A and B are shown apart, each in its own frame.
Chain A
Amino acid sequence: MESLFSWLNVDRIGGLASITGLGFTIYVFLGVRKIKQEFLFRARLPSLLKKIQNHASTISSELTNLPDSSHAIIEELAIAQVNIRSLENKSSGTMRLSLKKLRLIIEEIRENQSIDKNSIRAVYLEMNMVIQEISNIREDDKWSQGNG
């Protein structure tokens, strides 16, 4: 105990305090970053989700006119990919993984230019699965916050 007191001088206390302060600063920085990300996600989610729903809807309508509509579908998928990436960057956890999976499927179709009915129907289904998943998470969120 005596050796501890002899070891603790003003310099060392100052050093320990600044290390603790640095740790606390990092903790607050990460917390603020998380709040900012959460806020951005909540603010942008409704409009981005609506956009992805509209993309899915357009793709479903254009499916009846294949192969004439293949150019329109490619264009729609390109814009959908941008919106999905935007939502993916703001999300976390399982939602982020589902969005990434969907984005990669779209990317593959666009790279291979494989506009056949089956692959587009598969994308449409995957889009709807993700939209449903996000809608469910939103509903759960509302209830957990007591606004259900």
Chain B
Amino acid sequence: MAKQDEKLVALVAKLIELTQESTLRWEVVEANEGSEFGFTKIIGAVFETKYGGRILRIYKREYDNSEDNHLFNTYAYQPTYSIAIELEFVDRKGNSIWSFPRITGIFDLYKAISYKAAGVDDFISDILGDEENASNKRTKSDV
């Protein structure tokens, strides 16, 4: 495997680790829909983080492949879409500077970021903590 690919795969794995350990904090930002082409659109949340003076952005992009498929299958028109995760460096105005190539692990990174940004762990401990407190109170009042 090319050395550059190896480095990028290792980098994405490191970003997942930093995200899961909350060393890297991602924020939900507004999507820049204006920069999208006609056959693509941003779906889901767009996340940004700062690391070492650089801004990293990650989001899901949906590609509409229906036209391409229609060229090969003229009798049965079927809308087809594919989804890719885009990871890129952006400037302060949100313009893309450099996009990462399609590297293994980017989907896992997006999943890890969504999980952290949604605060799933806090939500679970809040709900279960409340339930535990309520059951403790009930036990005390029974006694």
Contact = CB atoms under 8 A, between A and B. Distances in A.
Interface of A: 53, 56-57, 60-61, 63-64, 121, 124-125, 128-129, 131-133, 135-136
B45 interface: no
Nearest to A56: B108
Interface in B13-37: 13, 16-17, 20
Contacts of B17: 121
A57 B16 CA distance: 11
Contact of B13 (A53, A61, A125, A136): A125
Contacts of A60: 16, 105, 108, 111-112
Given A133-B1, A136-B2, A128 B20 contact: no
Nearest to A61: B111
Nearest to B19: A64
A64 B122 CA distance: 13
A135 B1 CA distance: 10
Interface of B: 1-2, 5-6, 9-10, 12-13, 16-17, 20, 103-105, 107-108, 111-112, 115, 121
Chain B binding surface SS class = helix
Given A60-B16, A121-B13, A128-B9, A135 B108 contact: no
B108 A64 contact: no
Contacts of A135: 104
A125 B2 contact: no
Contact of B107 (A57, A132, A133): A57
B9 A129 contact: yes
Contacts of B5: 132, 136
A136 B1 contact: yes
Contacts of A136: 1-2, 5
